[in-house]
Structure 1
Amino acid sequence: MPSLDPVVDPFFSEWAGRRPEQSRSLDRASALLAALDLDPAPVPVLGVVGSKGKGSTATYAAATLSAAGLRTVLVTGPSFRGYRERVRVDGVSVTDGELSSLGEAVEAARGELPSPTESGGYLAPSGLFLVAGLLHARAIGADVCVLEAGMGGHRDELRLVGPEVVALGMVFAEHLGTLGDTVTEIAREKTRVASPDRTQALVTLPQSPEVAPVVSRTLSEVTGGRVSPQVVDPATAEEPPRELRPSGLSAASGVLGTAAATRMLELLGHPAAAQERLHSVLGTVTLPARLSRHTVPGSTTEVVVDSAIDRVGVSAALAHARALWGGVDHVLLCLPDHKDVSGAVTALEGLPVTAVRLPEAHLRFDHDLPAHWNHVHAEDLSPTAVTALGQRVLALGTVYFTGRVLEVLDAPTDRLFDAS
């Protein structure tokens, strides 16, 4: 949590000062959008929701739109090395000065609202960065926005914006008990990000037999039967070609993002990029902490960083590293108790592992771990400490951890793709 930083305090101050009985307020967020004259949104919006892979989907969607010649604002979260990364133009982070100006505009409009105490809820950081993205899109004359939702859908600020196109990733039991008590309740929550009047299309990956009918039924309810889900199957999709898709489990997200952006172009009546141009731009996409490969500064040690949070993700990352290197010398793992710690332990059986604890007070790390695992605090990670683990290191865990690893490795994170 940032502290006493005038650049980012406007985005975090209400969240930091919230009381135990308060929750995020979409009514307050709606009032802020109105105060900033952002209701309706100043540009068409492609919204991204799902249980996992939203950042990859949003990045490929933005790259596809930028390749077609549209000036595209992309809002994703959380950030890795700095909050500038939350808002990008054609794949490149805004400057510190631009983020500061956006924060000042948000703060000025917030001052016109009743206090959080009077309104009964606070403005969430993720929603305020979404607002900043819309502000920046208007300021620079952008053609379209790609906005990644937080963990929700109907309870997310993205729903207030009313995306013209929704990209729905796989829905599974992530955030069970928070967004719903069953996976079908979670699917309903995420599908309800659609707008009754603005949403024209929902593009989805193939969902499980229990989720698919819920998505179709909910979308019909929300849009009065105007919109039906468009399913894009990575097994048969032609774009992007397999060699231009992300590695591992993110491959499907690349297909979804490209398909959703193509649908947006159709709705806008804008021609898609020529295939050669599209492939050229998609070939430059980098996804930090999604099986990204780095070298420790000043050494020959290589590190693959992935934000895997469950058994499936850890197993996929391990398979990727073994295919790349032939083996793994050491694994750094950081999973708080609410993630699939047991699944990760099973997947990493027989490997040397160091468990990493983050300092954030709201995260608990009390889960039983194998006795032979090492333990460190995230603050103690350094290039020297990572190099000492071997030549082939796999760093896995929550994005708050993988962002710290990217910082240690001095990995570039400001540009996600090159559309120049």
Structure 2
Amino acid sequence: MNLAEWLEHQQRQHPREIAMGLERVAAVAKALGLRKPAARVITVAGTNGKGSTVAFIEAIARASGAKVGAYTSPHLLRYNERVRIDGIDATDAQLIAAFERIEAARGDTPLTYFEYGTLAALLLFSEAGLDLAVLEVGLGGRLDAVNIVDADVAVITTVAIDHAELLGADRETIALEKAGIVRAGKPAVVGELDPPDNLLRQIDRVGAFAIRAGKQYRFGDRLGGKWFWQDDTLKLELKKPGLIAPAQTANAAAAIAALRAVVPALPLTEDHIASGVAAATVPGRMQRIGGPIDIVLDVAHNPQAAQQLARWLMTHRAAGATQAVFAALSDKDIPNLVGALMGQVDVWRLAGLPDAGGRAQDVDTLSRKVSGLLSRTPSSRHATVAEALDAARRHAHAGDRIIVFGSFHTVAQALHALNAMPA
């Protein structure tokens, strides 16, 4: 089978798209003889900011000369993006070879699509001679497949309400799921300035030691496009990250704290940190495509992330009008996603996501969920993201801005459409 055929095969091997629990994936990992994927491992959980924090950790560590593997999900354009070794995406051949070994080892144990991918990443990392593996949790933490690995440092970026049907309906409950990646005697970096009490209690209960933003490390803005980071033994003056969202300094700060926690195993200089923060990139996180019409693509898919996007829009006004191309999965908090940006958008272009699997949503269903919110705001409905983006571009003028947001699917389809559309 080629890679596409393997991915289709994986989607048929478990009756549920998401199946929380470690028993099955741990059993297959044991059958594979999986060992620790790197000399040091950092696991990153959180509602928002995981992918960016992984990117900062990866870039800083690579600037120091370390050999780094990074596992993230979901992907935007190619599945291979999920597994990187020394900054290079895994090849089709590498992934297929890993999947073949997993298939031979699993017997009659059903695995989800995500579990196949996690095991493949761990296999490839364990054979690459890595100094550091950075693993992004897919969902929650405690029962996520990534959590079969005992991390040397755990990072929890933010805790907000998302996937409530699986993780809980309030921050305190969700915090317990995120804290499941923490290990006794190991550092746990807490990236939020005001984390849920349950998160801190669980870190203490496990016997880990917290490295908290605003406590054990501090950061903040400086004039002239700079910011500072400091702990008890180091103070840095850094250029702002190339990633432009307001939360990216917090994500970079958590990444620095995490890497400092694995020193001296991974020695870093100030130059390593500065160059890594500047070099880190993640597609689809307030990704700007410049031109007469500014296009901004963001994977924001919950209210907390949408509020970050709104903050950026408030402080970076367009010369002309702002249109939003919005499409989201059916299980998301649609009214609060839209509500967060109501004051920043002049025209809404709603779109369906008909090819998004079990959580697909057509535009008519989406429209009904926000009909009250948009009753006095110009809007249009389109079957696909490509059609909505085309309408936005046709009605835009020089100085206008188009925001595309709502999910990874939304941004991926927009990127495909932009590559196919005339400039």
Fold-level similarity (TM above 0.5): yes
2:265 equivalent to 1:276: no
Query: Structure 2 vs 1, CA of residues 157 and 195 (structure 1 numbering), >3 Å: closer, same or farther?
Result: farther
Partner Cα distance (1:10, 1:28) in 2: 19
Please state if 1:364 is matched with 2:361: yes
Counterpart for residue 317 of structure 1:
309
Offset of 1:152 from its aligned partner?
1.5
Q: 1:332 aligns with which of 310, 317, 325?
A: 325
TM-score by length of 2: 0.82
Partner of 1:408: 417
Report the AA paired with residue 306 of structure 2.
V
Deviations 1:350-384 (CA, angstroms, capped at 9, x unpaired): 61110111012423352133354111122644985
Say yes or no: does 1:154 pair with 2:142.
yes
- Do 2:21 and 2:143's aligned partners in 1 also have CA atoms closer than 8 Å? no
- Report what 1:388 is aligned to: 394
Q: Which residue identity lines up with residue 241 of structure 1 in the other structure? A: L
User: Is contact 1:245–1:255 with CA below 8 Å preserved after alignment?
Assistant: no
Matched-pair contact (CA < 8 Å) for 2:325–2:389: no
Evaluate the alpha carbon distance shift between residue 230 and residue 24 of structure 1 in structure 2; reply closer, same or farther with a 3 A threshold.
Answer: closer
Shift of the 7–265 alpha-carbon distance from structure 1 to 2, 3 Å rule, reads farther
8 Å CA contact 2:156, 2:189 repeated in 1: yes
> Which residue does the alignment assign to 1:246?
243
Aligned-residue offset at 1:37 = 1.5
CA-to-partner distance for each residue in 1:224-251, whole Å, 9 max, x for gaps? Answer: x3x2211133436345725126322333
Paired residue for 2:202, among 218, 243, 246?
A: 218
2:342 maps to which residue? 348
- Of 155-164 and 246-255, deviating more is 246-255
**CA pair 382-107 structure 1, distance change in 2 beyond 3 A:** farther
Aligned length: 386
What's the CA shift for 1:395? 0.7
Q: Which structure has the higher relative contact order (CA within 8 Å, separation 6+)?
A: 1
Distance 2:323 2:389 in 1: 14
Distance 1:187 1:329, change over 3 A: closer
Residue number in structure 2 paired with 1:91: 87
- Residues 313 and 138 from structure 1, CA distance in 2 versus in 1: closer, same or farther, beyond 3 angstroms? closer
Residue identity over aligned pairs, in percent, reads 23
- Equivalent AA in structure 2 for residue 400 of structure 1: H
Cα offset, 1:186, TM superposition: 1.0
- In the alignment, is the contact (CA less than 8 A) between 2:152 and 2:186 conserved in 1? yes
User: Partners of 1:12 and 1:42 in 2: how far apart?
Assistant: 29
- Please give the secondary structure, in 2, of the residue aligned with 1:52: coil
Structure 2 Cα separation of the partners of residues 249 and 358 of structure 1: 27
- Aligned residue for 2:181? 193
2:15 corresponds to 1:19 = yes
SS at match of 1:332: strand
Q: Cα–Cα, structure 1 residues 98 and 260, in superposed 2: closer, same or farther, change >3 Å?
A: same
Paired AA for residue 244 in structure 1: P
Q: Structure 1 stretches of 5 or more lacking a match?
A: 117-121, 412-420
Give the root-mean-square deviation of aligned CA atoms: 2.8
How many angstroms does 1:83 deviate by? 0.2
Secondary structure of the residue aligned to 1:192 is helix
- Contact 1:43 1:144 (8 Å CA) reproduced: yes
**Distance in 1 (alpha carbons) for counterparts of 2:116 and 2:210:** 29
What TM-score do the two structures reach when normalised by structure 1? 0.82
Secondary structure at 1:409 match in 2: helix
8 Å contact from structure 2 (residues 189, 212) kept in 1: yes
Give the Å deviation of 1:142: 1.6
Range with greater deviation from structure 2 (236-245 or 23-32)? 236-245
